[in-house]
Amino acid sequence: MARINTTFCALGMLSRGVEMFARALRDAALLFLGVVLIALGLDLFLVPNKIAAGGVSGIATILHHLVGFPVGATMLALNIPLFLWGFFRLGLGVGFRSLLGTVLLSGAVDGLVPFLPVLTTDALLASLYGGVLVGLGLGLVFRAKGTTGGTDLAATILRSYVGINVGQLLFLVDGAVVLAAGFAFRSPELAMYALITIFVSAWVIDVVQEGLGYTKAFLVISDKYQAIARAVLTEVNRGATLWEGTGAYTGAARTLLLTVVSRSEVTRLKEVVYRIDPRAFVILTNVHEVLGEGFKEYRG
């Protein structure tokens, strides 16, 4: 019996080891693909058109056009003191993946540029397509639990000193880089295009992180909540959760029903609710991502 238990334990450890290896391999692939996409966005669109969309890459773009420094090497040179500062201030929590992402990106930017054409000289097209590629790349890097150093690391370090929100610090740092580019290139328009790139890349990062397949969340307030819950379970084939609440004006106890459905089930659910209670109060909202039974499985 003890030998059987030992065998099952060993098999369990082996299974967990294989799962961890597969996850690490997937993260490495995502990190590499993300770095390549960021490098393509910089080399094909942003750098040739003098669009310095914030961050270390923006500073490197400015220096490239003013004094001829290679963008990738400049990014690495700027990131090295940031990582040293981060290790000193934050400890080893800065992370190996972040360091790896930074080195890979710097190498990819300079390594790919001799083989890539300049696809457009239209600043608007460059800002849009560059923002999409950079956003896709960063989204994949973040999904791999890594970063590419730069201003996100700088903001995290500064937050440890001043306690300001990281997002606010990122906005301030990136805004300063965009303004510097406008002055350096003597072109307010280039600064405006850089802002377009920042907003586009931020939106694409969210899409990669949260997905495009919006589902819908229904919050239903009705005295006939039990009948509605049964109909949701049997007719729509979705789960539901009941919450106990209190009306702020009346002080009366109310039961709220929460359920999440796909887009194609929205009309059907409305019909079910209002067939049972034409006076039901319904709140319908977008949900970017749903993990669990009936939807998407979390894979780490």
- Are residue 22 and residue 92 in the same domain, yes or no? yes
Establish if 299 belongs to a structural domain.
Answer: no
Enclosing domain of residue 281: 215-287
- Are residue 167 and residue 195 in the same domain, yes or no? yes
> Would you call 252 exposed, middle or buried from its count of C-beta atoms within 10 A (0-12, 13-18, 19+)?
exposed
> In sequence order, what are the residues at sequence separation of 6 or more whose Cβ sits closer than 8 angstroms to the Cβ of residue 72?
39, 60, 105, 106, 107, 108, 109, 110, 111, 113
- Are residue 95 and residue 205 in the same domain, yes or no? yes
pTM (predicted TM-score):
0.75
- Are residue 280 and residue 134 in the same domain, yes or no? no
Indicate the helix (H) or strand (E) that contains 220: strand 215-221
pLDDT in single tens digits along all 300 residues of the chain: 555 556 555 555 666 766 776 777 888 888 899 999 999 999 999 999 999 988 899 999 999 999 999 999 999 998 888 777 777 766 655 566 677 888 899 999 999 999 999 899 999 999 999 999 999 998 888 878 777 877 766 766 666 666 555 556 667 778 888 999 999 998 999 999 999 999 898 888 878 876 666 688 899 999 999 999 999 999 888 889 898 988 887 888 889 999 988 877 888 889 999 999 999 999 988 877 766 666 666 565
Indicate the residue among 151, 183, 210 that finishes a domain.
Answer: 210
- Are residue 258 and residue 184 in the same domain, yes or no? no
**Contact present, 140 and 208 (Cβ < 8 Å):** yes
Establish if 173 belongs to a structural domain.
Answer: yes
- Are residue 257 and residue 128 in the same domain, yes or no? no
